[in-house]
Structure 1
């Protein structure tokens, strides 16, 4: 019986990719909730794999953190495109920024180790900045074209405000409070209604 020589290698590769995705999803949940002390053993258990499988994919905690952050940045960038197709402009912007708070929640849980890893190279900074600036720019231009957002707002300004708001709180319910502050901030981006003609004349 002749067998396909590629068949033997195809399934392990698919399994490996599935394991990697399960590990990233599990780690994001655990580190978002538990902070930097959350164990790698807990990540492996949540993903349903052995600790050896985790280390084959991510030999260090820093490597795992960087992979989580990169994955969530990519998902957030993709969300902008999906929201632009499915939601009104201003609501799409608001929902995207709420999702940005959740990204920061994950980042807060692994901030120290992630910072140490990033210090070795600025590539992940450049990657995340480019991805998020581009994604947010799409939503801002769409909302501005619809007359719903001020035309002088740059994506870099909004991202800087989002990071500042997200990192300022330390209480347990900080995410709820930050989303409330983000809503206040977003409402402040609305385009001003034109003044009545008699007010301008006066």
Structure 2
């Protein structure tokens, strides 16, 4: 990358970091203006708002990616995926724009996901694959499927200070991901026939 392009990229990231930390959702136009670059320059570096947001929160994304092998070594696949999803949601709770960026991954064409989403989706895919191999998740489940299940949780995070609906929705998501185990629990609670 040429030095002027590298300089522009850094200025865009600095401007986005500042604006994301202030109230409201900054537009790409306001970020470009703050960085002192044209919108075309911004789009050359970051084709979507979500790609820019995920790059701003790069350390958090890297933490999520590096957590996968540690979680899979320490926990059964189901618990590893659950712990990872809880960590993802905690980051979304504290980082403005992060939840929207992750939520948007499922609606982007694969060609637009690029470096912004690739590592995050690969990490989630590894957890889903480990669960599929262990028989704890429905065969054919994908990282995109899991992200789609999180959509209601992102909505709650964005609009509520009360954590109880979030907890209830998270439990519903996990029941959806691991239906066989919850069916077994439900059957064990049924009254026995005489």
The two structures have a TM-score, normalised by structure 2, of 0.52
- The reply to whether residue 82 of structure 1 matches residue 66 of structure 2 is yes
Match of 1:35, SS state, is: coil
Instruction: Tell me what 1:5 maps to.
Output: none
- What's the CA shift string for 1:59-113, capped at 9, x where partnerless? 6998783542352697676445312222233344234334544189516779xxx
The two structures have a TM-score, normalised by structure 1, of 0.51
2-side partners of 1:135 and 1:73: how far apart?
16
2-side partners of 1:27 and 1:99: how far apart?
24
Q: In the alignment, is the contact (CA less than 8 A) between 2:20 and 2:97 conserved in 1?
A: yes
Give 5+ residue unaligned stretches, structure 2.
189-194
Instruction: Tell me what 1:71 maps to.
Output: 55
Instruction: Tell me what 1:47 maps to.
Output: none
Where do residues 4-153 of structure 1 align in structure 2 (5 Å cutoff)?
A: 18-30=10-22, 33-36=23-26, 40=30, 51=34, 54-56=35-37, 65-71=49-55, 78-87=62-71, 88=75, 89-101=77-89, 102=92, 106=97, 123-124=111-112, 133-146=121-134, 149-152=136-139
2-side partners of 1:17 and 1:128: how far apart?
14
2-side partners of 1:127 and 1:178: how far apart?
33
Give 5+ residue unaligned stretches, structure 1.
1-8, 45-49, 197-202
Q: In the alignment, is the contact (CA less than 8 A) between 1:81 and 1:135 conserved in 2?
A: yes
Instruction: Tell me what 2:172 maps to.
Output: 185
Structure showing greater Rg? 1
1-side partners of 2:19 and 2:54: how far apart?
13
Residue 158 of structure 1, CA deviation: 1.5
Equivalenced residues, count: 166
